[in-house]
Amino acid sequence: MKELILGGARSGKSHYAEVCASESGLNVLYVATAQALDDEMQQRIKHHQRQRPAHWQLIEEPLDLVSVLKNNANEKTCILVDCLTLWLSNQLCSEEHKNDLQKNVDDLVNTLPGLAGKIIFVSNEISMGIIPMGELNRQFVDEAGRLHQRLAAICDNVTLMVAGIPGHIKGKK
């Protein structure tokens, strides 16, 4: 079972994903893609850490998401990836990886259907606003939209969070 949970900032998407992971009855592996590059992000990370059950396994991986999924997906595990937009941003801002963005997205999309177990992706829905100024910002919005479309096509469930309320876009809950 593959699930994509989208929503705006503070929409409740991470909390909802954590509830889904807990209710799966499986061992939970939390894959965090954030990097604590400034004080504000450090505080966000600490907040998320306090929200998660202590017995969940954690892997912090800002770039090589596909390897983490390949090495850990199994029938007894629910992998919760939070979040894809940070992973995408990390790709775009990494001098080493930005030229491999399309390959890395293709690898994720092509690998996902063959993975066992439950995988939940959390991502920011950012395509409902104005077209951003700046080339990098527009590229980010375009790439996030393309990634979401491709994942939504292969995920069993797609949920859009608004004000803490899940709207089930695809699949059944």
Give the number of other CB atoms < 10 A from CB of residue 85: 21
Supply the pLDDT for residue 50: 77
- Catalytic center residues: 48
CA dist 32 and 90 (Å) reads 12
110 in helix, strand or coil?
Answer: helix
Which residue ranges form the domains of the chain, and what is each CATH number?
A: 2-162 (3.40.50.300)
| Pick from 135, 132, 148, 29: nearest CA to 78 | 29
pLDDT of 98 over the 80 cut? no
> 161 CB contacts (<8 Å, ≥6 apart)?
5, 6, 7, 8, 11, 12, 13, 16, 167
pLDDT of 64 over the 80 cut? yes
CA dist 75 and 62 (Å) reads 24
**Average pLDDT of the chain to the nearest whole number:** 92
Model pTM score: 0.92
Work out the percent of the chain whose per-residue pLDDT is above 70: 98
Class of residue 133 by CB neighbours under 10 A (exposed 0-12, middle 13-18, buried 19+): exposed
